[in-house]
Amino acid sequence: MKQSRETNMTTEENAFLFETRRQFLGRASAGIGSAAFASILNPRLLSASNGFPNFAPKAKRVIYLFQNGAPSQFELFDNKPEVARRHGDPLDSSFFQGQRLTGMTSGQKEKLICKSIFKFKRHGQSGIELGETLPYLGEVADDIAIVRSMQTEAINHDPAVTFFQTGFQQAGRPSAGAWASYGLGSENSDLPAFVVMLSQGSAKRNSQALYSRLWGSGFLPSEHQGVQFRSIGDPVLYLANPKGISSLRRRRMLDLGQELNRRHHERLGDPEILTRIQQAEMAYRMQTSVPELMDTKSETENTFSLYGEAARKPGTFAANCLLARRLAERGVRFIQLYHRGWDHHSDTPRDMPLQCSDIDQPSAALIRDLKQRGMLDETLIIWGGEFGRTVYAQGGLNMDKYGRDHHPRCFSMWLAGGGIKGGTTYGVTDDFSFNIVQNPVPVYDLHATMLHCLGIDHEKLTFKFQGRHYRLTDVHGNVVKGLLA
């Protein structure tokens, strides 16, 4: 093709650059406008829904209340009378059966059985036992299912958290929320399908780090990554127009940029360019939808009484739970709340009540609020951390300051809502919550069950990358039918 000597460009490229503004904008309105109009009529047109759900779902959405740092099952969910009777007894090497221990206690000379200083109480018609620091959760005990037999393969925080979020211990895989977005698309063209919020616990300790890759899209199209909503400044970074830029001017700038992207896609065929177009349109609509979402002034005093006074303070777990309900009302597919501060290697008597005061009332309020609005049956709630805690005390048996090390073999979580049988406990651990004796639930099974509640066969939700078909559950996973309603 003939080239210009001065510019070293083809005739076609020169023609493109010298198009009139009227032609440029005309094509922009035809291309981008029709795509935007189609997405408004049916948001799933621009999603990779792939025919899901492939059977009738029980839940339309997930709210995942992830407790970063690993709450102790001994203080909260798994009462062990034998531990109290054997309090102070030493554990010899035969007890551990060769289990890997962390470097924090592998060299500890004495590993002494440590009881919990917190009492347990039965709640509801189901008689579920909960620690005394969870009184509000006890009031909705008949709506939750406690899994006491969770197990994981990771013993340190980063790989363990990554495993729960992505189904793999090494970074780079898509997050569970990204898989849900990829499989089911969005129900709201004005908000992301996957939203993330973070809160800091009240425990007086340093918290484990959280990374945006935990809610990333991995090798899935980037439109499926989680969007973090912040509590300080703009809820979403770079969402507001710069000073001096009006909404009309922003729309014109966007149209010009979108036309350039569209033409770039016609030449290269890169699907990420289409994602860029779609996400730019989403960002423009979010300039209106997000401020309205984040403004909770319309909520009643009864609602704030339900969630607690902390719900008035942006960035708290209570405020994020309230926002999670508002997001659920608006059709957001996957809502992930991370609450930090559960890494109780010491000072459990001091920090456990502080952490529970953060999460107990808001978690129960979320269940009650969704239920009274007729939304609990279509919303799956998951609560839990990345592993459990040891039966022995870390750093000595000081009952004013005792702590517990990491324990991946068995720990507890709870679920509620869409597709889950409330008022039940599932799985049994031994007298020391060291091994599972009945109905183990690996991380893969939790993911398979979550997808099942959304109407997705976990073995069919796949994505081909570098010659292999990947899925959230890798080559594992079984639906835990004993948890299903």
Q: What is the structure's pLDDT at 46?
A: 43
> 262 pLDDT exceeds 90?
no
Could you report the per-residue pLDDT of 422-444, keeping only the tens digit for each?
999 999 999 999 999 999 999 99
Q: What is the structure's pLDDT at 34?
A: 42
In this structure, what DSSP letter does residue 243 have?
Answer: T
Q: Is residue 176 within 8 Å of residue 450, measured between CB atoms?
A: yes
Two structure tokens written together for 305: 């009484």
Could you report the per-residue pLDDT of 39-82, keeping only the tens digit for each?
433 444 444 456 899 999 999 999 999 999 999 999 999 999 99
CA 418 centroid distance within chain: 16
How wide is the angle at C-alpha 345 spanned by C-alphas 166 and 110, nearest 5°?
Answer: 120
pLDDT band at residue 7, thresholds of 50, 70 and 90?
Answer: very low
Residue whose token pair is 């709630």 = 381
Between 84 and 20, whose confidence is greater?
84
Q: What is the structure's pLDDT at 248?
A: 78
Q: Is the pTM of this model over 0.75?
A: yes
Q: What are the sequence ranges of the domains in the chain?
A: 49-232+314-483
Q: What is the structure's pLDDT at 211?
A: 94
Could you report the per-residue pLDDT of 217-231, keeping only the tens digit for each?
999 998 999 999 998
> 26 pLDDT exceeds 90?
no
pLDDT band at residue 455, thresholds of 50, 70 and 90?
Answer: very high
> 23 pLDDT exceeds 70?
no
Q: What is the structure's pLDDT at 31?
A: 47
Alpha helices in 185-242 (DSSP H): none
> 32 pLDDT exceeds 50?
no
Q: How far apart are CA 247 and CA 249, in angstroms?
A: 5
> 156 pLDDT exceeds 80?
yes
In this structure, what DSSP letter does residue 91 have?
Answer: -
Per-residue pLDDT, averaged over 85-95, amounts to 96
Q: Is the backbone peptide bond immediately before 53 cis, with ω within 30 degrees of 0?
A: yes
Per-residue pLDDT, averaged over 301-325, amounts to 98
Q: How far apart are CA 375 and CA 332, in angstroms?
A: 13
Q: How far apart are CA 26 and CA 463, in angstroms?
A: 37
Share of the chain above pLDDT 90, in %: 72
> 170 pLDDT exceeds 80?
yes
Could you report the per-residue pLDDT of 382-421, keeping only the tens digit for each?
999 999 999 999 999 999 999 999 999 999 999 999 999 9
Q: What is the structure's pLDDT at 19?
A: 46
- Count of CB atoms situated within 10 Å of the CB of 65: 23
CATH number of 49-232+314-483: 3.40.720
> 312 pLDDT exceeds 70?
yes
Q: Is the dihedral of CA 13, 18, 21, 26 positive or negative?
A: negative
Per-residue pLDDT, averaged over 354-358, amounts to 98
The phi and psi torsions of 60 (rounded to 5 degrees) equal: -95, -20
Per-residue pLDDT, averaged over 290-316, amounts to 95
Q: What is the dihedral of CA 271, 275, 278, 283, to 10 degrees?
A: -160
In this structure, what DSSP letter does residue 191 have?
Answer: S
Q: What is the structure's pLDDT at 238?
A: 67
Q: How far apart are CA 202 and CA 153, in angstroms?
A: 29
Greatest pairwise CA separation for the chain in angstroms: 90
Q: H/E/C letters for each residue in 291-315? A: HHHHCHHHCCHHHHHHHCHHHHCCC
Q: How far is CA 291 from CA 76, 102, 184, in A?
A: 37, 45, 25
Per-residue pLDDT, averaged over 281-307, amounts to 87
Q: What is the structure's pLDDT at 284?
A: 67
- Three-state DSSP class for 228? strand
> 38 pLDDT exceeds 50?
no
Q: How far apart are CA 419 and CA 53, in angstroms?
A: 14
Q: What is the structure's pLDDT at 258?
A: 77
Per-residue pLDDT, averaged over 205-216, amounts to 93
Q: Is residue 422 within 8 Å of residue 461, measured between CB atoms?
A: no
What integer best gives the mean pLDDT of the chain? 89
Q: How far is CA 145 from CA 57, 396, 459, in A?
A: 19, 34, 25
Q: How far apart are CA 321 and CA 334, in angstroms?
A: 13
Q: How far apart are CA 211 and CA 118, in angstroms?
A: 33
